[in-house]
Structure formats: structure tokens, C-alpha cells
Amino acid sequence: MTPASSSFTPLNVPNDVVPEWLGSFTLAAPPNTDLWRKPPTGDTSTAPILYTALRNPFIAAEVTVSADWELEWDQGGLVIFAGAPPGQIATATTATAANTNATATTTATTLEVPNIANINLEDSATTPSPATQHSQTTSIPNPETFVPSSQQQQQQDRNVPPPAYFAPVPASKWVKVGLEFCNNACHATSVVANCEGADWSLSALPPHQQRRLALRVKIERIGYALWVWYEDEVLGWKKLREVTWFFWGVEDKAVRVGVYASRPANFGISVFERRGLNGGIGGGVNSGARNLCVDFEGLEIF
């Protein structure tokens, strides 16, 4: 059934406006927008996304996606998240850097040795007496052999775990499926992302469907697995992939489903104009437009 728009949250959508009716609507994706994950920088969540949290356990979702595809990697389709909401995922790099800084600061504080005599290296400095020199020398610890007192060590152990303790911040899992323009042809596309990064897969459409600019896609829960499909106009649903672990260890309330559109490329005005003059796909008078406008029809979420 078509979901109610009031339950959806917009991300990277101008004016944060959710269409009133989600049976048919459009998302505009500017250049340099994407939903991607690549270590060590973490997530890129700049693509326009509309998503919803479900009251009941997720069963399936499907939608028909179409557009005037023209630039490499133009894409749009369904997306499902398990874990943190999109756009609110902390990167492991940031967390590790912050933890490293905290460790360095605390270590410097706990290892600071009080009452160390200042040593003046200027030629005009007065040479201390042997007694004073001996006192100063014995009060300065050797940095190579210095070990903090047991009390200081215990306090340090309680407050700051050793560096090996810090693990990368667990990232949410997500999967997207849709239609993508690549190598001058439309393909069924799917991307799966876990805590280590994302993979990317393209599947050639059957000959009778390659020239079409629209595709219906579906995601479905089977046990702990997420099955990803696209619809062949002649043979029916075709399975793209099975993500066996997607729902493992995930609470139902942590699942969010929606649609996305993205235009990762940005080749500038000259390329747009050249494609228009050459009569390329999507060319013409309006080919200088920056945004990719993706149309969604028949969105259903169960």
C-alpha cells in the first residue's frame, strides 16, 4: 500500500518538503550527491532521501523509478537502513581521532612530573653549586625509564583504556537498489554497505528492456536475509542478490525504508551543452539543467 507522507523524513531535500502523495512524486538530485561508504572516510550521505520508520516488522517494499538519465552514475531507487538513521552515522575515523587525542592528552597529564628544576642553557647563566646541581639532577627522572607511581597508573587505567581498546564505531547497514546509467546504458544496480564499506554491482537488463528508462525494483525480507529484485517485463521478478545477514541482530524499530536519487558526477556546463548539441540522452534545450529529476511511481511499503 502507498504509505502516508506524514510518516516520512526528508534528508537533503530542498525546504525539507515531503510530497503530499507518495503514489507519484519526483526527487531532484544536484551534481556531487551520492549515498556511498568507503573506508577510511566513512559515509557519503548527500543524496536526497525520503525514509520512514515502520510500526510493524518490515516485509517488503517496491517502486518504479524513471528519469532522463544522461550522466555517468545517475541513479535512483529504494534504500533500506538498519541501525542509525541516514545522515547520523559517526565515522570511525573521527571517533578514532577523538579517542587518540583524548589518550594523548590524558597521558600527558598523568605523566607530568612536578617540581622539576628549570635548566637555563644560556652562556650567561650562573653555574649552580655542586650540592644544588646534585639535587637538581637527582630530581629529574630519566624519560626512558620513568614509570608513574602505582596510584597514577591506576588512575590512568581507570580513565583511559589502552589505545588497542578503541574499536571503529559500529556503522549502520544499508542496501540500495534501483536503476543506474553507466556506460551509456541503463542497468539494474544494487549496493550493500556494512561496517567495513560498500560494494557496487550492476546487472545488464534483458535486450527487450535495455532501451527503457524505467524499472520496477523490490526489496523483501526472508528470515534474517534481504532479497533484492528487479522486474523483467516478460519473465517477471528476477533476483539480483541475497544479503543473508542484513537483519541479524537488528531490532525492528531500527529499520528505515525509503527512496533516493543521486547524481555523483559533476562534469560542468560544457559537457551538458555538448551532450545537448550532440543529441545525447536527455539532451536538448534543457540539457544545461544541473539536477537529475527522478520520478517514482507506485511506492509500496509493507
CATH number at residue 85: 2.60.120.200
Q: Which residue has the higher pLDDT, 216 or 100?
A: 216
Which of the listed residues 144, 165, 186 is the one where a domain comes to its end?
A: 165
Phi, psi of 113 (to 5 degrees): -100, 120
Check whether the bond before 162 is cis (ω within 30° of 0): no
Number of folded domains in the chain? 2
| Residue 140 and residue 286 in one domain | no
pLDDT of residue 145 exceeding 50, the answer is yes
CA 173 to chain centre: 9
Question: Is 256:24 a contact under the CB 8 Å cutoff?
Answer: no
Which of the listed residues 114, 147, 165 is the one where a domain comes to its end?
A: 165
Query: Up-side HSE of residue 232: CA atoms within 13 Å toward CB?
Result: 13
| Residue 178 and residue 275 in one domain | yes
pLDDT for 266: 79
pLDDT of residue 156 exceeding 70, the answer is no
| Residue 11 and residue 78 in one domain | yes
Give dist(CA 48, CA 289) in Å, integer.
17
| Residue 78 and residue 189 in one domain | yes
| Residue 12 and residue 155 in one domain | no
| Residue 65 and residue 42 in one domain | yes
What value does the mean pLDDT of the chain take?
77
Confidence grade of residue 140 (pLDDT, cut at 50, 70, 90): low
pLDDT for 85: 81
Give dist(CA 51, CA 176) in Å, integer.
12
Confidence grade of residue 141 (pLDDT, cut at 50, 70, 90): low
Span 48-56, average pLDDT: 94
pLDDT over 70 percentage in the chain: 65
pLDDT of residue 222 exceeding 50, the answer is yes
pLDDT of residue 143 exceeding 80, the answer is no
pLDDT of residue 270 exceeding 80, the answer is no
pLDDT for 121: 40
pLDDT for 157: 52
| Residue 81 and residue 185 in one domain | yes
pLDDT for 41: 73
Which of the listed residues 111, 130, 165 is the one where a domain comes to its end?
A: 165
Span 135-149, average pLDDT: 51
Domain that holds residue 238: 5-91+169-301
| Residue 174 and residue 261 in one domain | yes
Span 209-233, average pLDDT: 95
| Residue 146 and residue 249 in one domain | no
pLDDT for 142: 57
Question: Is 77:259 a contact under the CB 8 Å cutoff?
Answer: yes
pLDDT for 84: 85
| Residue 41 and residue 178 in one domain | yes
pLDDT for 94: 38
pLDDT for 172: 85
| Residue 50 and residue 38 in one domain | yes
Condensed to tens digits (0 to 9), the pLDDT of residues 172-181 reads 899 999 999 9
Confidence grade of residue 19 (pLDDT, cut at 50, 70, 90): very high
